[in-house]
Structure formats: structure tokens, C-alpha cells
A and B are shown apart, each in its own frame.
Chain A
């Protein structure tokens, strides 16, 4: 009798880097979406199209709220710097 299975395999990681900046909300949102939604190349065309459209919609929502989070965090940092007497530095952060 044949027994199937038993193969243990490693996946392939991707490395993303930046040069003198951090990742943008768009870049982070793309990574997030790839974790949330996987669309098979072999999916029926109608289902694939619907899944990709949903992914695009989610992308826009994710990017919007990530920007909101970034801006809100800057407000927090602005106030921390102001409270520490670093008004000039706080202003730099506010203008980002």
C-alpha cells in the first residue's frame, strides 16, 4: 500500500529595502494585501477578475487608513517634542 505525503519544504522569502527613507503606506499596504489575499493564476477568469477588483478596493482603503495612522502618530510626536521644549524640531515633524 502506498502512503502519500511526508514532504517538508521551506518557502521563499523576499527582501525589501529602502535607501534613506522608510516604506510608504502604498508599499506596506501591498505587502499586507499579499498576506490577506492570494489569487491563483489558475482561478476561473470571472472569479479571478472579481478577486483582483476586491483587492484593489481593499488597497485603497488600507492606504487611506495607513496615512491616517502616520499623520496621527506625527501629531503625537509633535506634542511630545513641544512638551520637551523642542519647538523647532516639532515644527519640522508637523511639516512632513
Chain B
């Protein structure tokens, strides 16, 4: 089992139509990013955060880090949203990919509804340093979540 690419979770697409996700900065939902090793096996059918194969190490706690939302916008006919880069500081971590999930989906609390599966392409490691996930340029061609 291993990471096999980036996937927008099918359950997320359905939940968008049910108004369960709000990416607005400040007043929106709370999204988190959890890191995993290459034993994790996620795809579009992944529906929830799991602790199975989640990484461990200095500077990282189960559940991962909380993301800062960037209020959705549009570019031409594409709607898009973004997150601020996330850093696990002073960390010693090795990870192959991550899950972004919503902890307040549908105005509930402690939810684990997945949004997207992201494959780093290879193992990435920090050693007593910073481990930073850099989100792509928030435009119609590259933004982390785009609806064209």
C-alpha cells in the first residue's frame, strides 16, 4: 500500500452540494492537515481522517496542524480557495503525503470529513528543523481547490 497521487475526495464533492464546508477566513470551518507515511493508502474514496499510518515525531501531534483558510474567490469562470503555508517547527518528521480534513463540517464539531489527499511524490524529512507545506499559487490553474 502506498500513496498513488492527488485526489479530491468524492465525499467532499457530495458534501459541497450539501453546504457542509465553509472555507471563509475567520468565520469558516476549521480545516486540519495530517501527515502520513507511505504505508497509507488513500484515494478518492477516502472519507475520514485516520490515525493509521499517521507519522509521529518531535514537533508533530496526532491530528496534524490547523490550517488558516483564505476566503474563496474567483478568476474568470473558476472558483478557488487557498490555505496559508503550514509549518511544523523544530520538528523531526518523515512523511510521504497528507490529508486535509474538516473538523467542523456542517456546523458540527470534532468531524473528520476529508477534503483532499495529497501525495508529496517522495518521502520528505525534517531533522531538528522546519517541515513546511507550501500551497500552490492561488490562481485558476494552480490553486489547491478549484472548481472550473
A residues apposed to B, CB below 8 Å: 4-23, 31, 34-35, 38
| Segment at the A interface, from B23-31, B50-58, B103-111, B133-141 | B133-141
Nearest-Cβ distance from residue B131 to partner chain A, whole angstroms? 5
* CB-based contact A11/B146 at 8 Å: yes
Nearest-Cβ distance from residue A34 to partner chain B, whole angstroms? 6
Known: A8-B145, A8-B147, A23-B130. 14 other contacts (CB 8 A): A5-B147, A9-B8, A10-B7, A12-B6, A13-B98, A13-B133, A13-B134, A13-B136, A13-B144, A14-B134, A15-B134, A16-B134, A23-B132, A38-B137
Q: State A85–B84 Cα separation when bound (angstroms).
A: 37
Nearest-Cβ distance from residue A83 to partner chain B, whole angstroms? 23
Q: Mark contacts of B32-72 with chain A using CB atoms, 8 A cut-off: 1 yes-contact digit, 0 otherwise.
A: 00000000000000000000000000000000000000000
B residues apposed to A, CB below 8 Å: 6-8, 13, 16, 77, 85, 89, 95, 98, 116-118, 120, 124-139, 142-148
* CB-based contact B142/A18 at 8 Å: no
A-B contact pairs, 25 of them (CB 8 A): A6-B147, A7-B148, A8-B13, A8-B16, A8-B148, A9-B145, A10-B145, A11-B135, A12-B142, A13-B118, A13-B136, A14-B134, A14-B136, A15-B120, A17-B124, A18-B129, A19-B129, A20-B127, A21-B129, A23-B132, A31-B132, A34-B137, A35-B137, A35-B138, A38-B137
Nearest-Cβ distance from residue B79 to partner chain A, whole angstroms? 9
Closest partner residue, chain A, to B134 (CB atom): A14
* CB-based contact A15/B129 at 8 Å: no
